[in-house]
Amino acid sequence: MKINSRQELEELAALYKKALECQKKQILICSETACVASGSLEIYDKMQEIMKEKNIDCVVKLEKDPHEGVGVKKSGCHGFCEMAPLIRIEPGGLLYTKVKPEDCEEIVEKTILHDEIIDRLIYRDNTGNPYIHIDEIPFYAKQTRIALEHSGKIDSESIEEYIAIGGYSAMAKALFDMTPEGIVDEITKASLRGRGGGGFPTGKKWSQVLRQEEEEKYVVCNGDEGDPGAFMDRSMMEGDSHKVIEGMIIAGIATKAHHGYIYVRAEYPLAVERLKMAIESAEEAGLLGENILGSGFDFDLQISQGAGAFVCGEGSALTASIEGNRGMPRVKPPRTVEKGLFQKPTVLNNVETYCNVPPIILKGADWYAQFGPENSHGTKAFALTGNVNNTGLIEVPMGTKLKDVIFDIGGGVKGGKFKAVQIGGPSGGCLCITPTVDHLDMHLDFDSLKKIGAMIGSGGLVVMDDTNCMVEVARFFMNFTQNESCGKCVPCREGTKRMLEILTDITEGRGTLEDLDKLEELAEMISATALCGLGKTAASPVVSSLKYFRDEFIAHVVDKKCPAGQCKALVNFRIDPDQCVGCTKCARNCPVNAISGEVKKPHSIDVTKCIKCGACMENCNFHAISQG
């Protein structure tokens, strides 16, 4: 299938659209990493098997000829990962959660053939309220999806379905109806800002590359989503690969660049596989390669795989890695827009940024401006994780309040009491509730967060409750950044090491009040003098925890106590004599014989011998052992 002109693309789109509408039912089985891990591919196979047995016409691949069958598809991320594996049945937007291969027969028999709803598979909230349609579920109701608009709605491995819903028409519009300057103006007017964390205006970046007079330029997509706790970009690359590609081609048209690279981190094998598949089918269709749609514009695309280095998310380190070098940042200027990949002018944007481009080109900057505040239009995808009831992938208008995200969409905190949310990963800070601060009404957008020393980052939101120790979390992030520091500049290489030592001392009971001042001093020095973004922001989680949870730090250094009971060295195990029945199980399980007592009489722990392994508490059947 080679598409030679815009007209052919439009005709094909109409045909595929008709064919898609002709399918009586569509079963969309989520097949991104989380659902696959929960067994969704088995469900995909089983569905087809059962349909075959029952002689039901099953359409796995969309063809041009209208075909009245039941479509069975591997879709992109539905977002509601907590309830994986998920199945969506269209028309009607019926969502089945936690589906098992054993349920397939019943789904086909009842829902597909007789339109009956299977009660036990529909979603119920904490109070037991059932929700049949996906749009009514509170998790979805408050979201606005632009970057993720297709995720979960189409077959993620099919270029035909992407074309059917209007895919590549934004590219055609950019090619035939707009000038490069016109595209840059539209993106600038839309005030689209880089979704990788920096929030740099995309239009400005593109105009700087367009201005360069070099013949050879590059478009690079940063898919090195290294922030622990973030997976928005992975979902987009896996679930809507063609949209990423289309966004990149438009960037190429706008900046007169003809070569593109997608840099994907090594931990995302499925994203690499899907992108490869998408690039191949786009090439076959003539949507990538020479003379795209007969316009005279050429654009080719390659995938470059990372090999496990967080610092490669930084622009100059990323391009160094594509060139086959150690991924170390360099001093700027010259900036990437002037001398980027292979020393040529380069547009470098994040996956989510590219995913916002086709809708803006298609619907216009004015349409996009209805979402989000001034200077930061549009939506932002977040990975909502940690101790929250509804973990998953969400997308909300910029400026949405934190409480709406955590309580309305996230369904509140799991088990404990809300304490803080870590935003922006190892470069970000925390938003929290303490006796003096309440960030729940905080607007999630670039400028509001910057004011309080946090950042949106790539969009990881990790919810923490009162069982999470903020000092330990600060140590955890410092450990991460220290590991990932490339070692090129001294402030980051040595500074993070010293900070980690101090934080480890504090969590192990060797900290002093003086250490807290030292931490602040080091933090200031590192952010002022480090070479790249990784170093400059390395201390942010510590600074932010010290600001809002100083009491917890003081409890660790002065009282030698960990209020959350997380820091093992500071925890003491205690047997409650009223609960203990003297079964001796704890004493038998203690590896250092620190527990003594007579049978059927309350036991006690010798704290001088105790190594705080927790084996006693784990083994006690009577909840008689507590820590604190």
Partner 1 sequence: MLEQKEKEKIDHILKKYDYEKSKVISIMQEVQKEYHYLPQEILCYLAKELGISEAKIYGVATFYENFSLEKKGKYLIKVCDGTACHVRKSVPILEEFRKILNVTPEKPTTEDGMFTVETVSCFGACGLAPVCTINDEVHPAMTPEKVRTLLAELKEGIDEN
Q: Could you tell me the smallest distance in angstroms from the CB atom of residue 530 to partner 1?
A: 18
Q: Mapping DSSP to helix (H, G, I), strand (E, B) and coil, where does residue 511 land?
A: coil
Using a 10 angstrom Cβ sphere, with 0-12 exposed, 13-18 middle and 19 or more buried, the burial of residue 583 is middle
Judged by CB under 8 A, the residue of 307, 436, 441, 598 near partner 1 is: 307
- Do the Cβ atoms of 383 and 231 come closer than 8 Å? yes
Region at 63 (left for phi over 0; alpha for psi -120 to 50; beta for the rest): beta
The site that binds partner 1 (CB under 8 A) totals a number of residues, namely 56
Q: Could you tell me the smallest distance in angstroms from the CB atom of residue 38 to partner 1?
A: 6
By CB under 8 A, tell whether 139 contacts partner 1: no
By CB under 8 A, tell whether 95 contacts partner 1: no
Contact stretch for partner 1 (CB under 8 A) within 34-42, 115-123, 158-166, 245-253: 34-42
For the beta sheet containing 346-350, the strands, ordered from the edge strand earlier in sequence to the opposite edge, are 300-305, 259-264, 218-223, 346-350
In whole angstroms, how far apart are CA 279 and each of 218, 225, 300?
17, 20, 9
CA distance linking residue 427 with residue 231, whole number of Å? 16
Q: Could you tell me the smallest distance in angstroms from the CB atom of residue 328 to partner 1?
A: 8
Backbone angles phi, psi at 301, to 5 degrees: -140, 135
**For partner 1, the closer CB: 462 or 570:** 462
By CB under 8 A, tell whether 386 contacts partner 1: yes
Judged by CB under 8 A, the residue of 33, 376, 400, 485 near partner 1 is: 33
Q: Which tokens go with 213?
A: 């007079």
Torsion angle, CA of 84/135/77/301, rounded to 10 degrees?
180
Judged by CB under 8 A, the residue of 201, 203, 226, 411 near partner 1 is: 226
By CB under 8 A, tell whether 351 contacts partner 1: no
Contact stretch for partner 1 (CB under 8 A) within 118-126, 138-146, 267-275, 292-300: 267-275
**For partner 1, the closer CB: 174 or 594:** 594
Torsion angle, CA of 433/435/436/442, rounded to 10 degrees?
20
**For partner 1, the closer CB: 308 or 364:** 308
By CB under 8 A, tell whether 323 contacts partner 1: yes
76, amino acid identity: G
Angle, vertex CA 318, rays to CA 312 and CA 324, nearest 5? 105
Q: Could you tell me the smallest distance in angstroms from the CB atom of residue 382 to partner 1?
A: 11
- Do the Cβ atoms of 606 and 594 come closer than 8 Å? yes
CA distance linking residue 305 with residue 109, whole number of Å? 44
By CB under 8 A, tell whether 305 contacts partner 1: yes
Q: Could you tell me the smallest distance in angstroms from the CB atom of residue 228 to partner 1?
A: 3
Contact stretch for partner 1 (CB under 8 A) within 108-116, 174-182, 263-271, 507-515: 263-271
- Do the Cβ atoms of 117 and 130 come closer than 8 Å? no
By CB under 8 A, tell whether 385 contacts partner 1: yes
Q: Which tokens go with 559?
A: 């009282």
By CB under 8 A, tell whether 589 contacts partner 1: no
402, amino acid identity: L
CA distance linking residue 133 with residue 121, whole number of Å? 12
Judged by CB under 8 A, the residue of 177, 267, 366, 524 near partner 1 is: 267
Residue 591, preceding bond cis, omega within 30 degrees?
no
Q: Which tokens go with 586?
A: 């704890």
**For partner 1, the closer CB: 157 or 238:** 238
Q: Mapping DSSP to helix (H, G, I), strand (E, B) and coil, where does residue 155 land?
A: strand
Of 423, 369, 424, 425, which is closest to residue 397 (Cα–Cα)?
A: 369
Q: Could you tell me the smallest distance in angstroms from the CB atom of residue 212 to partner 1?
A: 21
By CB under 8 A, tell whether 227 contacts partner 1: yes
Contact stretch for partner 1 (CB under 8 A) within 138-146, 203-211, 470-478, 498-506: 470-478
By CB under 8 A, tell whether 246 contacts partner 1: no
**For partner 1, the closer CB: 92 or 228:** 228
Contact stretch for partner 1 (CB under 8 A) within 154-162, 178-186, 193-201, 320-328: 320-328
Judged by CB under 8 A, the residue of 313, 392, 491, 563 near partner 1 is: 392
CA 421 to chain CA mean position, Å: 15
Q: Which chain residues interact with partner 1 by CB under 8 A?
A: 33-34, 36-38, 81-82, 84, 225-231, 234, 266-269, 304-310, 321-328, 383, 385-387, 391-393, 422, 425, 460, 462-464, 468, 473, 476-477, 480, 483-484, 486
